[in-house]
């Protein structure tokens, strides 16, 4: 999946992956996709909940070893 920006949030503990994601989303244009890489297991539920409450769309998520990857489209 093609993204406009990649956010490296690996090694950060909750709530920092979501905090950094929000900051990055604020810099993107409507329709842009942000790819996030995180290692905090809590990010799996946090990202989905944050995307829903903030009005953005979680397009896809997957796990590659210890790395959780998310693609969120700015609405």
Residue 72 has pLDDT above 90, yes or no: yes
Question: What local confidence, expressed as pLDDT, does residue 1 receive?
Answer: 83
DSSP string across 4-44: SEEEEETTPPTTHHHHHHHHHHHHSPTT-EEEEEE--TTHH
Domains, in order of start, for the chain:
5-73 (3.30.110.40)
How far is Cα of residue 11 from the mean position of the Cα atoms in its chain? Answer: 14
Segment 47-62, tens digit of pLDDT: 999 999 999 999 999 9
Q: 12, 14, 16, 48: which is the annotated catalytic residue? A: 14
What is the spatial distance between Cα 29 and Cα 13, in angstroms, rounded to a whole number?
27
Our answer to whether residue 14 is catalytic in this structure is yes
pTM, two decimal places? 0.95
Average pLDDT, the chain: 96
Tell me what pLDDT residue 59 has: 98
């Amino acid at each position: 999946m093609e993204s406009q920006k990649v956010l490296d949030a690996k090694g950060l503990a909750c709530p920092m992956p979501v905090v950094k994601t929000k900051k990055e989303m604020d810099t993107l244009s409507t329709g842009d996709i942000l790819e996030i890489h995180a290692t905090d297991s809590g990010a799996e539920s946090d990202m989905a909940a944050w995307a829903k409450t903030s009005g953005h769309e979680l397009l896809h998520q997957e796990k590659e070893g210890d790395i959780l990857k998310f693609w969120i489209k700015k609405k």
